[in-house]
Structure 1
Amino acid sequence: MATSDGWYLIGPLIAVGLVGFLGAVFWRMGLQPTGSTGGEPDGLSIFAECEDYGLLWPAAVTEDPEIADEIRRLLADAGIRATSATRRDGRVSVLVFAEEVEEARRLAQS
């Protein structure tokens, strides 16, 4: 095929058209990019809902990291594995596995 008759442009034009079509479909579905404006995110945002810790559940939430460490030590003495995570609002969550969350909450309240 000779390069002078313009057939070499068909592949790139199809690719650009397909990307544009998919972009329009995703835009219509509401999958717009969300920018961090400091307030509530607009559109679809994966992390806009609640904080997700995977298999771990919050057993206690406190403002002071030292109190969170004390709770972790108390749970460790009871044989419950625990870790802590700082939330977006600055508070500290003590996290345990789901099957131990009730016992951990009971121990943390006492």
Structure 2
Amino acid sequence: MPPSDGWYLLGPFIAVSLVGFLGAIFWRMGLQWHEETREDPLRDLYDGLAIFHDHGDDFGLLCPAAATDDADLADEIKGVLATAGIRSTSAVRPDGRVLVLVFPEEVEEARRLVL
């Protein structure tokens, strides 16, 4: 088959046509690029989920066992819990209060020791 017949253009033509066809399908399905920033339509559903909030009340796996206004008192509470074999840490809330945090399975025992 001589190259002057034009068959050598058939392969690239099929490839370009296939890419254009797939692009049209994706465009029709709504998978187009958006430059504008829109408000998230699911934002109202996030209100009950703590991972989407910006406040500091989410401590992951830890639960507050005690709260105080004095950082030294929080250190003393952590010392009491450490002598009882309970691992603890502290976190400062946005309002300035210091929370002593422990794992959920140790919360009840830690609260009994703190009182």
Q: Map 1:1-110 onto structure 2 (within 5 A).
A: 1=13, 11=23, 14=27, 17-19=30-32, 26-27=40-41, 30-31=42-43, 44=46, 46-47=52-53, 51-109=57-115
Query: For residue 39 of structure 1, what is the aligned residue in structure 2?
Result: none
| Runs (5+) with no aligned partner, structure 1 | 2-6, 33-42
TM-score (structure 2 length as normaliser): 0.59
Higher-Rg member (1/2) = 2
Counterpart of 1:86 in structure 2: which amino acid? V
Cα pair 2:56 2:94 within 8 Å, conserved: no
SS of residue matched to 1:89 = coil
Percentage of identical aligned residues: 49
CA drift at 1:48 = 5.6
Q: How much is the aligned-residue C-alpha RMSD, in angstroms?
A: 3.6
* Aligned equivalents of 2:87, 2:46: Cα separation in 1: 35
Shift of 1:88: 2.0
Give the aligned length.
91
Give distance in 1, aligned partners of 2:43 and 2:62.
29
Distance in 2 separating the partners of 1:81 and 1:94? 10
Instruction: Provide structure 2 residue ranges, at least 5 long, that are not aligned to the other structure.
Output: 1-12, 14-18
Divergent runs of 4+, >6 A: none
The offset of 1:53, in angstroms, is 1.6
**CA offsets per residue over residues 34-69 of structure 1, 9 Å max, x none?**
xxxxxxxxx845116782222211100111111111
If the length of structure 1 is used for normalisation, what is the TM-score? 0.61
Bigger share in helix: 2
